[in-house]
Amino acid sequence: MSKSDHLARACAVALAILALGACTGKETGPDDSATAAAAPMVAPSVPSATANPAVAKPLASFAGKDTDGDGRITSAEYARAAQTMFQMMDADHDGTVNVAEVDAARTAMGRSKAVSSQALVAAADSDNDGKLTLSEWMASANAAFDKMDTNQDGVIDKAEWNAANPDNPADADVTPAAPSASASPVHK
């Protein structure tokens, strides 16, 4: 090997060492900074839906889910609202939601009971244990999003929302109903 080859190899190694030494920040895994805002949070601290219906009720509305105000609900916006709603319904903070918790939250928020809370839980309860995990709730929410997105463009617009929610139109007032005496937190 010639003297110039040794010098070139030594320079290449030195440059590689300098380049690696200048690396800072995340050492392994994908860069999740671009997706962190779009993904649902793992476990934020939220008040119970029965304790604070003023916070919970907008999450059931078009405007409450359309967090960027662009007149469309993306799947990420829908998922964030669904996850927050689950956490707000989980009054005893055991990581599951039962029929009584769903019913108490729906009552506190003044939501329609055309379909019973029992039927809502049963429809999403994939393991038939009578309660919902976050995973079961999110699978149900994802299916509901897909069903509402009738033109399959990946977003729900006001017309699609209104067709699926005739009792809760996109332009409806989201002021919560006054909590009733039965809207206290549920404990097992």
Q: What are the residue boundaries of the structural domains of the chain, listed by start?
A: 48-181
Q: pLDDT at residue 51 above 50?
A: yes
Strands of 3-158 (E only): list them.
72-74, 96-98, 131-133, 155-157
d(CA 140, CA 125): 9
- If one compares 7 and 173, the residue with the highest pLDDT of the two is 7
Residue 59's pLDDT is what?
74
Residue 141's pLDDT is what?
94
Residue 137's pLDDT is what?
95
Residue 1's pLDDT is what?
65
Q: What fold does the segment set 48-181 form as a domain?
A: Recoverin; domain 1 (1.10.238)
Residue 154's pLDDT is what?
95
- If one compares 146 and 105, the residue with the highest pLDDT of the two is 146
For the entire predicted model, the pTM comes to 0.64
Pair 184, 58: CB distance under 8 Å: no
- The predicted model gives 44-50 an average pLDDT of 56
Q: pLDDT at residue 182 above 50?
A: no
Residue 181's pLDDT is what?
40
- The predicted model gives 33-59 an average pLDDT of 55
Strand partners, 96: 133
